[in-house]
Structure 1
Amino acid sequence: MRAQGAGCPAALLLAVGWLLLAGLQPSRGANVTALQDPGGVREGEDEGDTETYEEAENDSEEPESDASAEAEEEVQNRTVVKEVEFGMCTVTCGVGIREVILTNGCPGGESKCVVRVEECRGPVDCGWGKPISESLESVRLACVHISPVNRFKYMWKLLKPDQQPVILANDSAILEVQREIHPMAFECDTLENNEIIASVKFTIYTTNELQMRSSRPDTDAVLVFVLTIGVIICVFVIFVLIFIIINWAAVKSFWEVKACTTEVHSEPGSMRYKNLTSLDQSPTEIPGREDDALSEWNE
């Protein structure tokens, strides 16, 4: 009895195990199909993603091509040889400014364009300068400089004959001087880094000298006018002589024809003169002829 009772539970366990195995197989198949379907969906999604990625790449290639074209243009612009020339300096001595002009590679296809303005220098000695303003009482003088004015240092000197120049206390670029009974001479040195880059002198005349100099322009104008007229007449005479020398044959023939015409006109005049003289003499001769005729008639 115990053996049969022990065998029944074992048989029941086996049957339950088979049933569980039989139920697990379809569930595994469903799980397998379920697992396979997401994989297929993922493959489809991956294909769609690859298509959109390819489209994005195509779209991104266009701006890259534009950027590369712009980069090539920039490289070409950089490779263009830029030719530069310099304008005239604003001064002939001392320190001034000039323009730097680009003659090749200007924007907008312009033939020339100003790139920048730079400093230029000439000889240090500027000789004798002119005041910036003057009156009968005072004169204003200016040193050679460019802006900014405070960039340089200025040294004013009063020049005296056969003596050392007297350095003035004024260290600005402008000096105002009162006229005195004697003419005066001043000099201004423009310094940069304790080096003289420009030097100019001025003469300050007295009031009487200034009035005399101001009255001279009238006489100077008359003298200039007379000299101009004289030069014009001389030039005209020279041109006439050159024309006669070049066309000497034509001038000679012209004078010969004119001489012939004067002779022709002179011959009829002489004939008329002879006729008039003969007519004047004929009345005096007529009485004598009448006397001869009467004497012959009487005979």
Structure 2
Amino acid sequence: MAPRAGGAAGRLALLLLLLLLLARPAAAAPDDSSAEAAEPGLNATVSTELEFGECTVTCGIGIREVLLTSGCPGTEAKCIVRVEECRGPVDCGWGIPISGGLACVKMPCIYIPPENRFKYVWKMLIPNKTAHVLPNDSAVMEVCRDTHSVTFQCETQENGNRIASIKYTVYATTEMQTKKSRRIEGGQSRRITADAVLVFSLVTGIIVAVGAISAMIILWSVVKSVWESKSGQHNQDKKLANRSSLSNVE
């Protein structure tokens, strides 16, 4: 009987040991799951709400600010996270050449620094014909006026894609002189018109002032005449009253 009891006790001890070994991973599992569940909570507390500022351009390529609206240092409601590029419509329409004088002008392409990042394609636009590509590939082109007006176009390209385009018209020297003379004549005519309006206003003001003064003088004369007539009649009535009183005394 003793050996059987010892074998049973041994088997019982071995069974308890196996149960303990199996129970340890099961007990550790909740700890790992709770740790993993806590990580999303920590990440959820970090807010990355962003707000994008206005683009510096309405066409072509520009820059804008990216603002953080939560989690800024100190008491700031918004703070700048970064500055990034922004794009608008490719066609920027017509530009105005930069005139350094009457003979020559400069025409800038659309770009942001650094300018050597982009490729610039200059074209001469000819009515009813294919545009003529010029050898100039700089961001700013200088041309001198010819005997006739010429229209130019600059395309800003990046990685073979057109991201901006702008046109310029360089007027001929004779047309510039004609426009200048027209501006001078227009300025003179506006000056003459302004002078005429000023003279008319002054004359009208003088006439109104003279009329007002004359009306006041006439009104004063009428009032004075009425007052004098009333005063004379009052004196006459008084004299008549004194005469009648004297006759009554006699």
1:86 to 35, 43, 52: 52
What does 1:219-258 correspond to in 2, within 5 Å?
219=186
Question: In the TM superposition, what is the alpha-carbon distance from 1:166 to its structure 2 partner?
Answer: 1.0
- In structure 2, stretches of 5+ residues that fail to align are 1-38, 198-218, 236-250
Provide the rounded CA distance (Å) in 1 between the counterparts of 2:100 and 2:61: 24
What does 1:59-74 correspond to in 2, within 5 Å?
none
- Whether 2:110 is the aligned partner of 1:144: answer yes
Provide the rounded CA distance (Å) in 2 between the counterparts of 1:223 and 1:124: 40
AA matched with 1:181: T
Alpha-carbon distance change, 103 to 275 in structure 1, aligned in 2, over 3 angstroms? same
Provide the rounded CA distance (Å) in 1 between the counterparts of 2:64 and 2:136: 30
1:194 to 160, 167, 177: 160
How many correspondences in the alignment?
Answer: 169
Provide the rounded CA distance (Å) in 1 between the counterparts of 2:51 and 2:151: 40
Provide the rounded CA distance (Å) in 1 between the counterparts of 2:190 and 2:68: 47
Alpha-carbon distance change, 133 to 89 in structure 1, aligned in 2, over 3 angstroms? farther
2:120 aligns with 154
Question: In the TM superposition, what is the alpha-carbon distance from 1:198 to its structure 2 partner?
Answer: 1.0
Q: TM-score, normalised by structure 1?
A: 0.47
Provide the rounded CA distance (Å) in 2 between the counterparts of 1:121 and 1:89: 8
2:130 to 161, 164, 183: 164
Percent identical pairs in the alignment equals: 51
Q: TM-score, normalised by structure 2?
A: 0.55
Provide the rounded CA distance (Å) in 1 between the counterparts of 2:133 and 2:232: 101
Question: In the TM superposition, what is the alpha-carbon distance from 1:97 to its structure 2 partner?
Answer: 0.8
1:181 aligns with 147
Provide the rounded CA distance (Å) in 2 between the counterparts of 1:96 and 1:139: 25
Provide the rounded CA distance (Å) in 2 between the counterparts of 1:159 and 1:217: 31
- Whether 2:122 is the aligned partner of 1:122: answer no
Provide the rounded CA distance (Å) in 2 between the counterparts of 1:92 and 1:220: 34
Query: Which has a greater percent of helix?
Result: 1
2:70 aligns with 104
- In structure 1, stretches of 5+ residues that fail to align are 1-71, 231-262, 280-299
C-alpha RMSD over aligned residues: 3.9
Query: Which has a greater percent of strand?
Result: 2
Question: In the TM superposition, what is the alpha-carbon distance from 1:132 to its structure 2 partner?
Answer: 3.9
1:205 to 158, 167, 171: 171
Question: In the TM superposition, what is the alpha-carbon distance from 1:83 to its structure 2 partner?
Answer: 2.8
